[in-house]
Chains A and B, each alone.
Chain A
Amino acid sequence: MKSIAERKVLLQVNNIKQHFTVKNDALFKPKTVVKAVDGISFELYEGETLSIVGESGCGKSTTGRAILRLDEPSAGEIYFGGENLLTVKKKDMRKLRGDLQVIFQDPFASLNPRQKVKQILNEAMATQKSVVKEKRPERMKELLEYVGLPLESLERYPHEFSGGQRQRIGIARALAVHPKLIICDEAVSALDVSIQAQILNLLKQLQRQFNLTFLFISHDLSVVRHVSDRVMVMYLGKIVEIADKKSLFDKPMHPYTHALLSSIPVPDPTIKHERIILKGDVPSPINPPKGCRFHTRCPFATDLCQETEPELRELEKGHFVSCHMVEKI
């Protein structure tokens, strides 16, 4: 990885919020607001892999969807190559959509079952106008080669492939339009470990080959440790810690990160590590706790934590933590 000074910011997220208004079944009750993402800022450098980790419901996918404008964020700015994604005109957005691609957990759900792989890839290239018609057959062959699928695959339907192969089709489709940034939302979570390893290797290799930038969303911390340059930990719609991979895993500072890392089951019975077992569940994002959102489960919480929300502070170079007590614990 290049030093921070040399790196070019590809994506800049400024204080985005995503508040979903949900209707109540009861007639006269006020509407409830789900604060799925509640004011987060970060940047993504060209060619890096930044991972977002955290328990389900903490806002990982919502963050990805906001960047893709699949849901319009309620507030904030997202700059991509200098342009604010949230205010660009429709026709400019089409071009940008090609630069930003996504791979989901369940490739089956995102691939049209009635289309052959050929049609799937063709459609991706046609909507983005990224490859002229005459060049498309050539490009398809190239894409299959990149993702390690046999040429015959073009004439087959998604259901004829295994889970790992379908994920390769999803990757080929994302690559079809020459993207700069790929958001991988739990892209390997449904795969068996031996297949997962194949896909992770492929993603890394493609990243080197095409200088891709990845925003890698996952709840699997071992996978994250393997793929990331930097890691961002979210809790209830907020960033609690963000750092380069090595400092985060070797020297986690936030109490939540500590607990999360200590919960990972280690595939080695001779290692008996100390486990911090958190009490209870994550509170609801409808009425998140006041002050530090983690205070209801935090073993170090003080009165201050219940009242005042901690800021995200840079405690070491590139290592940001949002906790009042971090210097004292």
Chain B
Amino acid sequence: MAEKEIPILEVKGLKTYFTTKKGTSKPVDGIDFVLNKGETLGIVGESGCGKSMTSLSILRLIPSPSGKIAGGSILFKGKDLVKLPESEMRKVRGNDISMIFQEPMTSLNPVIPVGEQIAEAIRLHQNLGKKAAWEKSVEMLRLVGIPSPEKRAKQEPFQLSGGMRQRVMIAMALACSPEILIADEPTTALDVTIQAQILEIIKNLQKQLGMGVIMITHDLGVVAETCDQVVVMYAGNIVEHTSSKELFANPKHPYTQGLLASLPNITEDVEELRTIEGTIPSPYNLPKGCRFSSRCPHSKDICSERNPELFEVSDDTKVRCWIYSDNWNNQSKREEECLNEKHS
């Protein structure tokens, strides 16, 4: 079914680079993924690995002039957003593709009643009168579970709790029934009970509206509960791309394996947690070979020489690691031979 329809979003070879005094950083360095209607794609990875820059690139909201899309394409229903003039892009934002952030105040005006802000967003993209837009705005607030929405609509953001502001932002993002919702750490600043409410709301609205969701998070629990497919990023690269089921049952990349092993377990006791030694490399000074090589317990010579490509391990799984190439076994053999020579 999904194969026949064109995907709503197809990101191909996306590169987003920054040029600063310190040099060139490559927070997004050749990213590919496909999002289908009604599907949720997770993007996970440690802070600084390029998750937010990927999502901001899709909406062409990268801080300029230091940052720019340096290559690749972003096809929204076949149309390349990278090439779109800014005036056209403005129609896409908030209408076709919406975004919600960790901090709701980045998208809310602190001194305007929230209902008015949502109504304004509606009127920007839809041909509705003031009154109709206001009514729709109140309806949206009700939809995201805000109690007495008529009253709340008239309040300014600071009069609302953090969880309520987050819901207002979701209401605003969804007011124009977008085809894609990008949620960048939407629940990271919230308590678990509120997080559960918000994730439930997103899930329900997704079912109703059939939108595709890109869920950016560093919380693997949130991934497991919401995502169909997952992209694991490390230092600007995708290192593993697979189904959510497969990711948790059979993590393939050493980084993914390390990440899952370092999670404290809610049902099981261990004295010591597994860790990944070291830290991520500086984006200004990326290693020549595999970007994970300085922290990887399996690293071999080839790893520090060449960055591996994404190897297709099965139909729905790709891994950027030499272990999954034919070279790996050859390399092992070579190393064995070296050892044997030394010993003989």
Interface residues of A (CB under 8 A from B): 55-56, 162, 164, 192-198, 200-201, 204, 219, 221-223, 225-227, 249, 259-260, 262-270, 275, 277-278, 280-281
Contact = CB atoms under 8 A, between A and B. Distances in A.
B248 interface: yes
A222 B279 contact: no
A112 to B, nearest CB: 23
Contacts of B194: 55, 281
A197 B260 contact: no
B264 A223 contact: yes
A197 B195 contact: no
A281 B164 contact: yes
Given A195-B279, A197-B274, A264 B260 contact: no
Contacts of B218: 192-193
A197 B219 contact: no
Contacts of A195: 46, 279
A200 B263 CA distance: 11
B286 interface: no
Contacts of B161: 281
B265 to A, nearest CB: 7
B193 A193 contact: no
A269 B225 contact: yes
26 contacts: A55-B192, A55-B193, A192-B46, A194-B46, A194-B258, A195-B46, A195-B279, A196-B262, A197-B274, A197-B275, A200-B273, A201-B272, A222-B221, A222-B263, A222-B264, A222-B266, A226-B264, A226-B265, A249-B267, A265-B219, A269-B224, A270-B249, A277-B193, A277-B197, A278-B196, A281-B161
A200 B271 CA distance: 10
Interface in B36-58: 46-47
Interface of B: 46-47, 147, 161-164, 191-197, 199-200, 218-225, 244-245, 248-249, 258-260, 262-267, 269-277, 279
A275 B249 CA distance: 22
B248 A193 contact: no
B283 to A, nearest CB: 13
A55 B190 CA distance: 9
A267 B244 contact: no
Contacts of B193: 55, 259-260, 263, 277-278
